[in-house]
Amino acid sequence: MSNNKVLQFQLIISIVNKGHCGEVIDSSLKAGAEGGTIISGRGSGIHEKAKLFSFAIEPEKEIVLTLVPSDRTEKVLEAIVKATKLNEPGHGIAFVLDVENVTGINHLIE
């Protein structure tokens, strides 16, 4: 970046049951995020061992990547947890990673 001001970012990764990504996106936008990226996935944790007629069911998941300035991370994460009930078993998981370099989001950096 050519700016003297370096803005720090963090990536919130939310993994929720299929059909709940809208709740993640809506709540994060209201809390100050600029948007998110949705990726499809499949779960294999202890809460995904359901069966139907003796066949194992592998529930589909949605992964939402939300890049936010570090000063907004806690507010956005709290909104996601509340909207998706992530504190309850089987509803999903969210975690935060520090981001070292960012490009392509000039509107947030300038």
Residue 90 forms part of a structural domain: yes
Classify residue 5: in a domain, yes or no.
no
- Report if residue 58 sits inside a domain: yes
Reported confidence tier of residue 3, pLDDT bands at 50, 70, 90:
very low
Residue 29 belongs to what H/E stretch? helix 21-30
- Give this prediction's pTM: 0.80
40-84 pLDDT, tens digit each: 987 666 555 555 565 555 578 999 999 999 999 999 999 999 999
Number of domains forming the structure of the chain: 1
State how far the Cα of 55 lies from the Cα of 38, in Å rounded to an integer.
28
SS3 for 67-99 is EEEHHHHHHHHHHHHHHHCCCCCCCEEEEEEEE
pLDDT at 56: 53
Domain boundaries, position 98: 15-109
Q: Is 10 part of a structural domain of the chain?
A: no
